[in-house]
């Protein structure tokens, strides 16, 4: 029980924190409908009626391009569909699955990736940027759990199992595949002969990337188009942009999303501080794995135009694990900063400003 009580207490505390934010904003904090936003509907539609792909002109959305729910990953909807077959309603099932994986994530961090088990560091992870999405009808907590599981298995040099965990992460969320290069690079850095390291990298990274390949193959079978995901996402114009320019633009926001812009700046500051911490105490492989994984999940969305950053930034949580071994002031300051951000971000979510 001791292995679960602290993560459970943190989970309940953060959930009550978000409930208080909702109440203060004038919402019924325990209304399950609060946890649904635009993209939630895509996952629920996949769970209840399967995938579809249709020309946007046929439904009056746009004169060109492709529409439908094929631009969203299948693992989370598959779990919802399983719950529905057992008699659950789709939205409550989706919210319960998200909550379950968030709790499982905290238990895994506490018992697997943490070494000193600093409760404040666990609170910081639970309040990671965009933490509201860990609890909402989105696959963020599902993907986060399997990313953390992959990292834990990599640290034990269990490359096949790490690859399988990475594959589920890749099938859970659009950026989940990023764990594949992390796994491959880690395997290449381990002791041993060159052939063995290359083989382990191919296993861990290849199996993890196979999650995305499996989704494309599934779309080919179901929709007759292996690139259905890319066709649907193309209309959002995700072109490459400068991450620095995007951070500056976020810092200069003066609209209703100014708080979300502030979050992006705070995340950049957190990564700078954590990088300094790693250098200060000596570069260790474990630290580089956690920091590098978090940085990749943070930087990739920053390099793409029209990607919702608040949600994506939640998957940068592996870097926050480093706070477990940091001086006491570090997790204290991180918790304060993240809580001050999480409160207004949650209210923006409840008001429907964040999708």
Report phi then psi at 327, rounded to 5: -55, 150
In a domain, 355, yes or no: no
Q: Output DSSP code: residue 130.
A: T
Residue with tokens 């609060």: 34
In a domain, 328, yes or no: yes
Among residues 266, 260, 278, the alpha carbon closest in space to that of 333 is found at 266
Which element (helix H / strand E) includes 54?
Answer: strand 53-55
In a domain, 222, yes or no: yes
How many structural domains compose the chain? 1
In a domain, 114, yes or no: yes
Report the alpha-carbon distance of residue 51 to residue 222 in Å, rounded: 7
Q: What is the DSSP string of 44-60?
A: HHHHHH---EEEGGGGT
* pTM of the predicted model as reported, rounded to 2 decimal places: 0.96
In a domain, 259, yes or no: yes
Which ranges constitute the DSSP H helices of 86-127?
90-108, 119-126
Residue 333, domain extent: 2-350
Report the alpha-carbon distance of residue 315 to residue 303 in Å, rounded: 15
Tens digit of pLDDT at every position of the chain (355 positions): 669 999 999 999 999 999 999 999 999 988 999 999 989 999 999 999 999 999 999 998 888 899 999 999 999 999 999 999 999 999 999 999 999 999 999 999 999 999 999 999 999 999 999 999 999 999 999 999 999 999 999 999 999 999 999 999 999 999 999 999 999 999 999 999 999 999 999 999 999 999 999 999 999 999 999 999 999 999 998 899 999 999 999 999 888 889 999 999 999 999 999 999 999 988 899 999 999 999 999 999 999 998 889 999 999 999 999 999 999 999 999 999 999 999 999 999 999 998 8
In a domain, 258, yes or no: yes
Contact 142, 76 (CB under 8 A): yes
């Amino acid at each position: 029980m001791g292995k679960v009580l602290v993560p459970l207490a943190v989970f309940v505390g953060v959930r009550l924190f978000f409930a208080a934010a909702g109440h203060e904003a004038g919402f019924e904090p325990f209304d399950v409908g609060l946890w649904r936003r635009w993209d939630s509907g895509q996952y629920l539609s996949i769970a209840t009626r399967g995938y579809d792909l249709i020309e946007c002109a046929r439904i009056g959305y746009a004169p060109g391009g492709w529409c439908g729910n094929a631009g969203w990953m299948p693992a989370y909807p598959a779990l919802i569909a399983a719950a529905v077959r057992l008699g659950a309603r789709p939205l409550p099932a989706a919210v319960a699955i998200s909550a379950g994986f968030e709790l499982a994530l905290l238990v895994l961090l506490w018992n697997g990736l943490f070494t000193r088990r600093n409760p404040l560091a666990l609170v910081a992870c639970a309040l990671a940027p965009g933490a509201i999405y860990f609890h909402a009808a989105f696959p963020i907590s599902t993907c986060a759990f399997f990313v953390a599981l992959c990292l834990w298995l990599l640290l034990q040099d269990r490359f096949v199992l790490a690859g399988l965990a990475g594959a589920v992460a890749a099938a859970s969320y659009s950026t989940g595949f990023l764990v594949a290069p992390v796994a491959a690079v880690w395997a290449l850095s381990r002791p041993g002969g060159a052939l063995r390291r290359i083989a382990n990298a191919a296993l861990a990274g290849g199996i993890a990337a196979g999650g995305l390949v499996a989704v494309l193959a599934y779309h080919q079978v179901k929709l007759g188009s292996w690139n259905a995901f890319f066709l649907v996402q193309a209309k959002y114009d995700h072109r490459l942009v400068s991450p620095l320019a995007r951070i500056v633009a976020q810092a200069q926001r003066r609209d209703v999303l100014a708080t979300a812009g502030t979050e992006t700046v705070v995340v950049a500051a957190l990564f700078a501080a954590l990088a300094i911490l790693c250098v200060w105490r000596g570069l260790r492989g474990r630290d580089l794995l956690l920091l590098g994984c978090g940085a990749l999940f943070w930087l990739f969305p920053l390099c793409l135009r029209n990607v919702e950053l608040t949600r994506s930034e939640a998957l940068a949580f592996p870097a926050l694990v480093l706070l477990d071994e940091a001086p006491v002031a570090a997790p204290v300051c991180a918790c304060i900063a993240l809580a001050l951000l999480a409160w207004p971000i949650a209210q923006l979510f409840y008001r429907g400003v964040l999708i």
